[in-house]
Amino acid sequence: DQQVKQNSPSLSVQEGRISILNCDYTNSMFDYFLWYKKYPAEGPTFLISISSIKDKNEDGRFTVFLNKSAKHLSLHIVPSQPGDSAVYFCAASEAGNQFYFGTGTSLTVIP
Amino acid sequence: KAGVTQTPRYLIKTRGQQVTLSCSPISGHRSVSWYQQTPGQGLQFLFEYFSETQRNKGNFPGRFSGRQFSNSRSEMNVSTLELGDSALYLCASSDGTSAHNEQFFGPGTRLTVL
């Protein structure tokens, strides 16, 4: 059973516009969420995280929003750049236990 | 600091064989987690080792096993390989001492089972 879901396998956005990547989860006990970015032939690299005590965390062009009642989080990238083209994974964990990853969303930023 | 390294990067085996993959974590990290990535399935958690002890385990059959050495290096073994074991195997290291530790991933080992 997939406890973390990314229902959009791919997303295309024009350079300079906003990219919004979505993630849904089923376990209400998850208390820590992360986003990773993955380029081909490389391992995922950490992008941004959020604890369940917050509903927003911002780091430069990247902002993660958490809606606990909807069990939904999203990653906003503004403005999008061609170098942002990659596969993005969201992940969640409960009390420091294993991380559950989504299936990923492939983002293409069109110059 | 050097990043997480995995060897080998690519591997081709045949059904029924066994394979051992190696992961060297970032210096000072005591936690190593292993993941299997297949198309459409995302990253599936295999197990986590912390200070030479398996701390968490995912839902994989017993053919998948691992261990961690005193220097925190970890190995993962898959016995009696099946075609469905073809995947990218990723390891990730972290400090492992708090509930919320960022994981740093290696480049992965691409295993192909023929």
On average, the pLDDT of chain A sits at 94
What confidence score (pLDDT) does residue A92 get?
A: 94
Give me the residue from A89, A97, A103 closest to B56, CB to CB.
A97
What confidence score (pLDDT) does residue B1 get?
A: 65
What confidence score (pLDDT) does residue A10 get?
A: 96
Residues of B in contact with A45 (CB under 8 A): 105
What confidence score (pLDDT) does residue B101 get?
A: 76
Is the Cβ pair B56, A98 closer than 8 Å? yes
Is the Cβ pair A103, B41 closer than 8 Å? yes
The yes-or-no verdict on residue A66 having pLDDT over 90 is: yes
What confidence score (pLDDT) does residue B40 get?
A: 74
How far is Cα A20 from Cα A56, in angstroms, rounded to an integer?
A: 14
Contacts of B70 (CB under 8 A, 6+ apart): B52
What confidence score (pLDDT) does residue B99 get?
A: 64
Give me the residue from A49, A51, A104 closest to B42, CB to CB.
A104
How confident is the model over A9-41, as pLDDT tens digits? Answer: 999 999 999 999 999 999 999 999 999 999 988
What confidence score (pLDDT) does residue A97 get?
A: 78
> Which A-chain residues 22-51 have CB contacts (< 8 A) with chain B?
31-32, 34, 36, 41-46, 49, 51
Per-residue pLDDT of chain B (114 residues; tens, 9 = 90+): 679 999 999 999 999 999 999 999 999 999 999 999 987 778 999 999 999 999 989 999 999 999 999 999 999 999 999 999 999 999 999 987 776 778 899 999 999 999
What confidence score (pLDDT) does residue B33 get?
A: 95
Contacts of B2 (CB under 8 A, 6+ apart): B26, B27
> Which A-chain residues 80-109 have CB contacts (< 8 A) with chain B?
89, 91, 93, 95-104
Is the Cβ pair B100, A98 closer than 8 Å? no
Mean pLDDT of A68-92: 97
The yes-or-no verdict on residue A96 having pLDDT over 90 is: no
What confidence score (pLDDT) does residue B2 get?
A: 77
Contacts of A4 (CB under 8 A, 6+ apart): A23, A24, A25, A26, A90, A91, A92, A100, A101, A102, B42
What confidence score (pLDDT) does residue A40 get?
A: 87
Mean pLDDT of A48-55: 94
What confidence score (pLDDT) does residue B53 get?
A: 94
Nearest residue of B to residue A3, measured between CA atoms = B44
Do strands B42-50 and B104-105 pair parallel, antiparallel, or not at all (unpaired)? Answer: unpaired
